[in-house]
Every structure is written in C-alpha cells, then in structure tokens.
Amino acid sequence: MGERREGAFIPRLKSRGPAPIPVKKGTLVILVAALALAAVLSPLASAKPDGLERVAEDKGFLERAGSFSTSLVPDYLMPGVGNEALATSLAGVSGTVLTFLLAYGVARLVRKRGIEAGDRVR
C-alpha cells in the first residue's frame, strides 16, 4: 500500500463491505490526547463547584438538585475501585472510549444516508 501522505488524495477502493475510512495520523493524535487527558489529568481536576453549582449554593437553590435515576458510574468514580484517583481515571477513560464509539457510530449512520445522495469531492 505504501505510506499515505498528509493531504494526499486517497483513492476509494472497490470492496464488498463499506470502504475502510482512512485515518490520518494527525487525527489519531486527538484520540490519544483525549485518552491521556482522561487517564492522567482527570484525577487532578479541581473538585471545587462549577459556576452553576456555586450560584446555586450562593443563591440558595442547590438543595433542589435531585436525581431521578442512579447512574452506572456516579460522580465519575468507577465503582469497586478503592483508590479515588484510579477510579476517576478509569471512569474518564471508559467515558472517553464510549463517547468516541457513539459519536463515530452516529457519524457513520448519518453519512450512510449521505452516500445515497451522492458523494462530494473536495
């Protein structure tokens, strides 16, 4: 196949299944950065209340906050993991991967219909 150059026109291959979507190195870096961010920096994040929470505290409506459901990974702490930093990291990484898969899936589904309308070449 050979190396794919940045910005090179990538010819579409005829294949039975959906054509593989080329992923440039530059794009992959974003996912790697995301995973690194989630794994390493999320346990270090500030635990202070965010802007809305702070306003709710100051103006006296914070106690209205409730939850109508229990979540799988409440407060970004992976259940069953003793160490809080590790629990946060795991929550972060799993959420990042999940988000990637869902967003990618949505994009693929959306794009599939687009193919029927005809491809655009830019």
- Footprint (CB under 8 A) of other proteins, residues 60-99: 60-61, 64-76, 88, 91-92, 95-99
Amino acid identity of residue 98, one-letter, is L
Residue 81 or 97: the one with the smaller Cβ distance to other proteins is: 97
Q: How many residues bind other proteins (CB under 8 A)?
A: 75
| 21 binds other proteins per the rule CB under 8 A | yes
Residue 84 or 98: the one with the smaller Cβ distance to other proteins is: 98
Phi/psi for 81 (5° steps) reads -115, 120
| 6 binds other proteins per the rule CB under 8 A | yes
| 5 binds other proteins per the rule CB under 8 A | no
Distance of alpha carbon 6 from alpha carbon 3, whole angstroms? 9
Amino acid identity of residue 92, one-letter, is G
* 90: number of Cβ within 10 Å: 22
Q: How far is the CB of 82 from other proteins (least distance, A)?
A: 19
Q: How far is the CB of 3 from other proteins (least distance, A)?
A: 16
* 38: number of Cβ within 10 Å: 22
Enumerate residues 6+ apart whose C-beta is below 8 A from 22.
4, 10
Residue 45 or 84: the one with the smaller Cβ distance to other proteins is: 45
